Amino acid sequence: MTDLKNAFYNPFVLRFPPGVLSSHAVVIMRRFILILSFLLCSFTAAAADNQTELQRLYSALNMLNQEQQATHQQFQMVQEMLRSNSKTLCAGQSNLMPSRGEVPNYDDVIAAQKSVIHREEGLYQQADQLFSKYGQLEEQKKPLQERIYNLTISK
């Protein structure tokens, strides 16, 4: 009777009446329960590792997205500067017309045109670099996105 009373107080202890199970069967059952508990712990640890890796991947992806957004904003600014520069070039040609009877100095006009053209070439080069950087950031994001996809599918 004390065995049944103790079994109610400790639900994790399996007790059978004498003669129902051999001592060898009890040992096997206890080992089986022990192995199951280890497996459960390992699955829990693997899930925690996956969650940690997912958090790390999401933060890296977020960082790349922010850098890509900043690159895009810089690209838009360079495009606006190119538009402004081309307006300056067109306005400079209208300034070539004599005003108040004065003819502009030829060397000054050529120097101003060369300056505008040189600035435009630099802006185009900068726009190309930013466009290339944007593409490189996109390529860096792909493996992270694939790994995130694989981890979320395996859950």
Nearest to 78 by CA among 134, 130, 5, 3: 130
Digit-coded pLDDT (tens) for 108-125: 888 888 998 999 999 999
Q: Which CATH architecture has domain 2-153?
A: Up-down Bundle (1.20)
- pTM over cut 0.75: no
pLDDT score at 97: 56
Interval 74-102 mean pLDDT: 76
Cβ-proximal residues to 14 (8 Å cutoff; 6+ apart), any chain: 26, 29, 30
Q: With 80 as the cut, is the pLDDT of residue 99 above it? A: no
Digit-coded pLDDT (tens) for 31-57: 667 666 666 655 565 566 788 999 999
